[in-house]
């Protein structure tokens, strides 16, 4: 588990007087005990609790500090993936507002059921907590899926994001203007990751270099244009859509040296 982030969230909750959030952190860790995230071949699987912690941390980095929203983020997979009911969550002290949002975020319908998915996201859009958590959840899942999932599953994930989640975000921006900046930021992140994933699946992107960092909340893309042992490269910060490009040829060794010395961080 990412102990530093877990400890930070507990300290944040204590400082804000968020007793329900402190309770949710402990409960989520207990419910997800023994569960692990899928990992790329050769990589160590992380305890599943790292995922909801990252979802909550991402929202906090965007300025979301509503306690029930952060509780929804921490608990968002418990109803769907753990042995607990919505009523059980209430009995464990999870606030009703968060339980309502957890229910909306959770998808219990059949896989591949287009009508059920459409209804699921249509219902979700009216609840700002559910919208924010679903967008942050999808940002984290998509930024870590390459290598962990089959190409077919990645493509289905991209299609669902483009067909349902991005349009939902566009509607939610107007319905919940108090969170429009956060919604737009995560929508842009999802759009960029979808394009990257499709490029990888089409083999249009020759290489993607990931610079690991536990505190990372952005994903960076490197397109390589090779010319013998020389190359040009373009690095895009997908998180805030700023672009930093290098249009002069350098050797592979020099390229790697420069990238390692950049302050860029990537979830991966």
Active-site residue, selected from the candidate residues 30, 33, 80, 91: 80
> Which stretches within 86-214 are classed as H helix?
86-91, 96-105, 114-124, 128-143, 151-160, 166-175, 180-201
81 is catalytic: yes
**Cβ–Cβ under 8 Å, residues 130 and 68:** no
Measure Cα distances from 230 to 204, 224, 243, 249 in Å: 19, 10, 22, 6
Active-site residue, selected from the candidate residues 19, 30, 43, 81: 81
80 is catalytic: yes
| Calpha distance 129→69 (Å, rounded) | 5
Q: DSSP character for 45?
A: P
The per-residue b/e assignment along 236-250, b for 16 or more CB within 10 angstroms, e otherwise, is bbbbeeeeeeeeebb
Q: Which residues are catalytic?
A: 80-81
């Amino acid at each position: 588990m990412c102990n530093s982030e877990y400890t930070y969230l507990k300290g944040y909750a204590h400082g804000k007087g968020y007793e329900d959030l402190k309770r949710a952190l402990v409960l989520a860790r207990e419910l997800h005990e023994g569960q692990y995230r899928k990992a790329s071949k050769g990589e160590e699987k992380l305890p599943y609790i790292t995922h909801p912690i990252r979802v909550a941390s991402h929202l906090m980095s965007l300025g979301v500090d509503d306690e029930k929203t952060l509780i929804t983020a921490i608990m968002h997979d418990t109803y769907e993936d753990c042995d607990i009911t919505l009523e059980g969550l209430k009995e464990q002290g999870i606030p009703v507002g968060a339980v309502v949002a957890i229910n909306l975020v959770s998808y219990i319908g059949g896989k591949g059921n287009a009508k059920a998915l459409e209804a699921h996201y249509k219902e979700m859009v009216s609840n700002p907590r559910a919208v924010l958590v679903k967008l942050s959840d999808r940002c984290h899942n998509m930024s870590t899926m390459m290598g962990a999932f089959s190409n077919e599953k990645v493509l289905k994930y991209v299609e669902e994001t483009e067909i349902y989640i991005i349009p939902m975000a566009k509607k939610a921006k107007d319905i919940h203007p108090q969170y429009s900046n956060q919604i737009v930021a995560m929508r842009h992140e999802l759009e960029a990751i979808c394009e990257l994933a499709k490029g990888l699946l089409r083999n249009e992107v020759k290489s993607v270099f990931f610079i690991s960092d536990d505190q990372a909340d952005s994903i960076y893309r490197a397109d390589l244009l090779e010319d013998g042992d020389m190359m040009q490269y373009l690095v895009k910060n997908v998180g805030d859509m700023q672009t930093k490009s290098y249009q002069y040829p350098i050797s592979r060794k020099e390229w790697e040296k420069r990238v390692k010395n950049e302050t860029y961080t990537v979830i991966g």
